[in-house]
Structure 1
């Protein structure tokens, strides 16, 4: 069952009058849209290879909800969101990139233990390189790319606008589409690495031909639910 995380305060927003709040790496391009929005484009690649990355420059704290509208324009790939991505020793992936291993935009740059980055990531609008929808949405933890959740992928259509809401509070993450809970997970495993806490939020587009338009980006502080983490008395 999902938990209701109430938005408390708007802490960041972007209506994309320009794309100065976003950092691009990898291949492809990001560009502002004339009517307000950001377009990401990845073409001529394949899943696992170089992708089009866009990271929101402000560092987000823990206990946040990220909301935005997305319209995927083609079906030759998929979309991934990164949550709380930073170096394992607190490095900022943009400002401190000279302290981290070089990245070219391949998938391993963001999940390989050798790269030294922490995050959660959620994949959705999952079309394979042949344009066939895979029907599932996955959640993974990094480093390691460990599968920690999966469920329905409601984003099955191109040229349709969806409203995404991702809530993160400690190791509890929930993925919502158009106001409906899709899936989530609770992660308590701190045996090898600390639970991902703060860091950047980012997009990854990857595939043979995929583009997406992002609009109405919002980040809210949310009210935590400490009872989730309390053992039975």
Structure 2
């Protein structure tokens, strides 16, 4: 049976090896050309936000962390709130276009391209609950689905909806000082689970400033969570 690339729709070619005769080939959702445009994050990265250190000037790195994360950690309000973010890919031009199709045009099936990587990453993490970052009611009505929930469900992950979003003002348009001191955008859902001493994994599509994830993590930590980490598809 022929399979076709989710992005450019060309036929996906599988290389023929002895293993392919003995075992079912690993399912692929992108052709080689499209897949090659995804930039996996490899090598040294900030131990908190996953930003590749090779993209930073030496004076923007201290003790294995980027200065942005160090500033968050220097603020008593945010210190230790988000233990660690793991991002799988860089938010390059290809990823930006790909995610735009997924988020704004409703091409839900495009999430399949990342399901194996997401599932593999989560299996290596020691977390008890998986929580997708929620959209505001307005955004959810516009798009028809939550992109974070879509990424998780396509990867076969069981999620818990512990948070609700109070408003949808874009954090990336605020100054750094405004982001740090802005009012929290999340609240616990009306019937949350008992999360005392639980290790929670947040799921979202992009880590840009880290503000959204930290606000969500802070809400969960205040409710008793032991630690909160996050997995994001891309690092902006």
TM-score, structure 2 length as denominator?
A: 0.30
Query: Which structure features the higher share of helix residues?
Result: 2
Higher RCO by CA contacts (8 Å cutoff, separation 6 or greater): 1
- Whichever structure has more strand as a proportion of its residues is 1
Larger Cα-atom Rg: 2
